[in-house]
Amino acid sequence: MKYILYARKSSEDKSKQILSLESQVNEMKKLAQSLGLEIDKIYTESKSAKLPNNRPIFSEMVKLLENNNEVEGYGILCWKIDRLSRNPIDSGKIQWLLQQGKIKAIQTSDKQYLPSDNVLLLNIEGSMANQYILDLSKNVRRGIKTKLEKGGWPNNAPIGYLNDGKGGILVDKERAKYVKQIFEMYVSGDYTIREIAEKIYLAGFKSRGGNKYHKSRIHKLLSNPFYCGLMVSGGQEYIGKHKPIISKALFKEAQEMSVKRQHVKKNQLDFIFKGLMVCGKCGCLYTASRKKGKHVYYYCTNGKNKCEEHKSYLKEADAVKLLADVFDHLTFSKKIVDWMYRASLDSLKEEYENKDYLKNKNELLKQLKLREDRRAELFNLLLDKSITKDNFEAKGKTIDEEIESLNDELKNLEKQNKKLDETTLEQIRDMFLAQHGLKNKFLEVENETRKAMIKNVLWNAEVKDGKLANINFKKPFSLFAKDSQKGSLDLLCAVKDSNLRPCP
């Protein structure tokens, strides 16, 4: 039997991965030599295993194992089992290939796993690796929150500031003056954001590479309270220790000006297809205007100042006919839709009867109630002056953290088990079956209904030389639109096995 040596390091920083990967490969080669194992292939990659489908080399190895029909087969050689996976999806793939005998053995530095073994141990070790990632993520979030509460900024410094390399933020003297000028120009009301971007660039405000900051970056800058000494993270506001570039009064004026300008935009004409068409030549959105007070025309915004397509106009009547063709790409097999509906109902019934879910939920609720009771008892002790305020706050903080952790677990449990009810499934089934007549309906209804219909299925459509060049469908329509056979099971099912399980 031949072995595939797989080595992985989480960091994608090439300067940090070489020693770790080489060390893993060298150690596993020594182990193979001592055990008399033959290494046929060596796969190495520097990718996190936290998320499924995130490692191209791992996917290549899995594909090789799945397609291998040789009797002798392959084994896998790796330093630890968590080098193969830290998420339940990829762990499940490895376990299934091992059980099927597609993987003849998994040899780590201290253990061997065989198809004939009890899969419980491999399951537990895979779950431990996944739990490590969950705990690490929670600890990182807690560390970030603590730093924010102390006035520190845990991310890269925004334009106008610099990271000092020690976790602090310094004012970028070269760019700070331009940041202040941008706010002052904006609140004056004399300049659009595009004009500000152009004028400030000519004045010397450039990126590290000497490039111009476009209006999207200027708009983001103007809405960032960091410049007046405040930090926003996760919807919560913190007071920063960094030196403000502008006053809070100036920042407030800028936000008021932004609201004022948005209000003006709301009073403008509502063009039904605005924002839904994209130029196929430069990638900019189509906008619209009314000519001679009557006729509506759509055209490229030419936001990158390099496209000639904006000189060509598309009449609204022609846009209606153009976008009606979108529905030609959506045809659904009634037989497949019925099959999906029935299979999904069966799946729902099984999920709602999942006793483990109810057991876990009840246990979490029980633990949550216990902590809340403790919090109330602690408060009563404070009122009775049986404990000091400092002891109350210290113990209360611990209980609050436990409550927060339990609530997070409860939300995750609910999210994992949330399923559509029968009514929703019926609505989805009816929606799929209704696609056959959508094109004719789209051509017959009023503009407001057309707008709702096209937005329901479409993110945007590329238009080139007056024709549809590419269509970006929303889910689940994108699945059907990609299917040249109009309803094949391979595309309808995100998960498929010999029992033809329904899409989750």
What is the domain partition of the chain in residue ranges?
A: 2-141, 161-266, 272-354+418-504, 355-417
Q: What H or E segment, with its residue span, contains residue 67?
A: helix 56-67
Contact 93, 62 (CB under 8 A): yes
Closest CA to 61 of 132, 49, 489, 130: 49
Secondary structure (H, E, C), 124-155: HHHHHHHHHHHHHHHHHHHHHHHHHHCCCCCC
User: How far from 437 is each of 43, 128, 227, 328, 454, CA to CA, in Å?
Assistant: 51, 51, 54, 10, 14
DSSP 40: E
Identify the pLDDT of residue 172: 92
Say whether the peptide bond before residue 244 is cis (omega within 30 degrees of 0): no
Residue type, 61: M
Q: What CATH class does 2-141 carry?
A: alpha beta
Which residue shows structure tokens 């059980």? Answer: 99
Contact 276, 316 (CB under 8 A): no
Closest CA to 100 of 128, 125, 129, 67: 67
Contact 88, 126 (CB under 8 A): yes
Closest CA to 462 of 284, 227, 296, 212: 284
Each residue of 336-381: pLDDT tens digit?
A: 667 666 766 666 555 555 556 777 888 888 888 898 888 888 888 8
Which tokens go with 44? 């190495």
- Neighbour tally for 349: CB within 10 Å: 11
- Neighbour tally for 327: CB within 10 Å: 22
Give the integer Cα–Cα distance in Å for 192 and 185.
Answer: 9
Give the integer Cα–Cα distance in Å for 253 and 399.
Answer: 42
Identify the pLDDT of residue 49: 80
Looking at the structure, give the CATH architecture of the domain made up of residues 161-266.
Answer: Alpha-Beta Complex (3.90)
Identify the pLDDT of residue 358: 76
Which residue shows structure tokens 């088990």? Answer: 417
User: How far from 161 is each of 132, 164, 198, CA to CA, in Å?
Assistant: 35, 9, 21
Identify the pLDDT of residue 355: 57
Which residue shows structure tokens 């008399």? Answer: 36
Which residue shows structure tokens 């080489």? Answer: 22
Q: Could you tell me how far CA 240 lies from the centroid of its own chain?
A: 28
Closest CA to 483 of 491, 473, 495, 475: 491
Closest CA to 79 of 12, 129, 121, 123: 129
Flag residues of the chain having pLDDT under 70: 11-19, 71, 117-140, 263-270, 292-293, 331-337, 339-341, 343-356, 416-436, 479-504
